[in-house]
A and B are shown apart, each in its own frame.
Chain A
Amino acid sequence: MHHVSDAPPPFFHRGPSPFARLAVFGLLSLALLFTDSRYGYLEGIRSVVAIALHPLQRIVQIPGETLAWVATYFTSQRELADEVASLKQQVLVQAPAAQGHELLRDENAALRALLAVHARFANAATAAEVLYTGRDPFSQKLFLNRGTDAGIKPGEAVIDQFGVVGQVTRAFPQMAEVTLITDKDHAVPVKVERSGIRGVFFGAGAGRMPELRFMASSSDVRPGDKLYTSGLDGIYPADLAVAQVTSVERETGQMFSRILCTPLAGVDRSGYLLVLRQGAAQLPRPDEPAEADAPKRGVRGKGRRSG
């Protein structure tokens, strides 16, 4: 606004100057940023806007769904026959395990009853479809097409056919926000399948490999080991596959080894996911001050708010 010709003549006057507006809206944004990240007062407004956005999110699904439908329609008979054959074979391969499973489950239930241990996670689950993935490069999130109307609540675990995908962090009426296990602010308590050692699996953000942190350099972890949820957090049911160890670096100067992992679930690929109901395994939650013991919880306090 230094140049004479830049200033509009008085009859074109349009209220406060752009800079004044920027100042006002900037301050307003800062106030919002502060309020939203410190206190969760604005969740009501958020869900109202989310409902308004929902039709748009449905529209966006249409091209993909149409393509998928067309692709299915033109699948050749031969492909179908091949698929049926391979599925039949798969069923055969899995049959012994499935038949044994019934027996084992009953036996396990009886043993657990004897030991008076909490029942394993209830099998109740809701299937949901991925609406879209978050565009924010700083956090790993995705959105499901089911929400509180299907009974989904924040804190519930989300899995696909291979393993744990993440955890519901916000639930709206027709939509739920899932924080993925690869998110920087997300941690899952796990145990190593082979040795049974417990640890905490930390996401590292987009494009970085998640880590099994704070494992002493003497701990028995090898590349290829599978990590399963330990169920200690009361959020993720026990014994869900999480990740596979890809590399273990032990340096003499370091107290902990650096263990990089690859998630087993199709964290950024799966289109259909399963939201597990929090069953009987859920223990009463300690009061809010207990939030200090961060790694015990699925998502650390900070991550839940700022993502």
Chain B
Amino acid sequence: MAVLRKASLLAPSRPEEILRPVNPWFIPLSFVVALLGNLVPLAGMAAMARPDFLALVILYWCIHEPRYVGVGVAWALGLVVDVADATVFGEHALAYAVLAYAAEYFRRRVLRFRRWQQAPQVALLLMIGAATVLLIRFVGGAPLPHWTYALPPLVGAVLWPLTSVLLLWPQRPARSSAER
């Protein structure tokens, strides 16, 4: 069948497990945990290099489950972050909305790669989100930030394979005894 042939062209080059559908409760839970990660009090270098866990998780769901998480959800979560970080309302909301849109635009491309190969692309996507925040701050008259401003997206990208594995865990098929 033509459809099948087309599907095989689109499919990733490596064999893939057939995943179980995502539990809709798992998505909000992952957001809460990511937000907790953002709120943990840190100091010094750790605080400077801390990735935006929430952006990372939003990115994951936008790429893997675009039917559940898209621009709207990302925007609403951005508002929550604006309160938690005491920034102007709409700053992170806009950044996450742009991030979600970029993720939706690139998701097919990103999914064709292996996890560690996805990381550089994720770094780019996270940078787009960070750049949006930066742009808004520039409009508000902020000076050029320290170079460490680029650290969180990079650290986030390094953590991407781990994030993917963790968030995909509940969807992995149960191993039947016939299989192995």
- Hey, which bits of chain A sit against chain B, CB under 8 A? 5-6, 14, 18-19, 21-22, 25-26, 28-33, 35-37, 42, 45-46, 49-50, 53, 56-57, 59-61, 63-64, 130-139, 141, 143, 170, 177, 184, 205-207, 268-269, 302, 305-307
Contact = CB atoms under 8 A, between A and B. Distances in A.
Contacts of A35: 89
A30 B137 contact: no
A63 B90 CA distance: 31
A5 B10 contact: yes
Nearest to B93: A29
Nearest to A61: B41
A36 B88 contact: yes
Contacts of B40: 60, 63, 132
A136 B83 CA distance: 11
Contact of B43 (A33, A37, A56, A268): A268
A138 B70 contact: no
B87 A136 contact: yes
Given A18-B70, A56-B39, A268-B43, A33 B146 contact: no
B75 A25 contact: yes
B49 to A, nearest CB: 11
A130 B41 contact: yes
B101 A138 contact: no
A184 to B, nearest CB: 7
A30 B94 contact: yes
12 contacts: A5-B6, A18-B105, A21-B70, A26-B94, A28-B75, A29-B75, A37-B88, A135-B47, A136-B85, A143-B86, A184-B142, A207-B146
A268 to B, nearest CB: 6
A131 B40 CA distance: 9
Interface string B51-63: 0100000000000
A14 B67 CA distance: 8
A60 to B, nearest CB: 5
**Which of B72, B84, B86, B93 has the most chain A CB atoms closer than 10 A to its own CB?**
B86
A49 B79 contact: yes
Contact of A307 (B78, B86, B98, B143): B86
Interface residues of B, number: 52
B72 A25 contact: yes
Contacts of A53: 39, 80, 83-84
Given A18-B101, A56-B36, A61-B41, 7 more contacts: A25-B94, A28-B93, A53-B84, A132-B41, A137-B146, A184-B143, A307-B88
B43 A59 contact: no
Given A37-B88, A170-B86, A18 B71 contact: yes
Contacts of B93: 25, 28-29, 32
Contacts of B98: 22, 26
Dominant SS at the A interface?
helix
Contacts, number: 135
A56 B149 contact: no
A136 B142 contact: no
B41 A59 contact: no
B87 A60 contact: no
A135 B145 contact: no
Contact of A33 (B32, B108, B136, B145): B136
Contact of A136 (B6, B32, B86): B86
7 closest A-B pairs (Cβ-Cβ)? A32-B90, A29-B94, A36-B89, A33-B90, A29-B90, A132-B41, A21-B71
A165 to B, nearest CB: 14
A46 B43 contact: no
B42 interface: yes
B97 A26 contact: yes
A133 B136 contact: no
A184 B35 CA distance: 26
A22 B71 contact: yes
A132 B43 CA distance: 9
B83 A56 contact: no
Contacts of A26: 94, 97-98
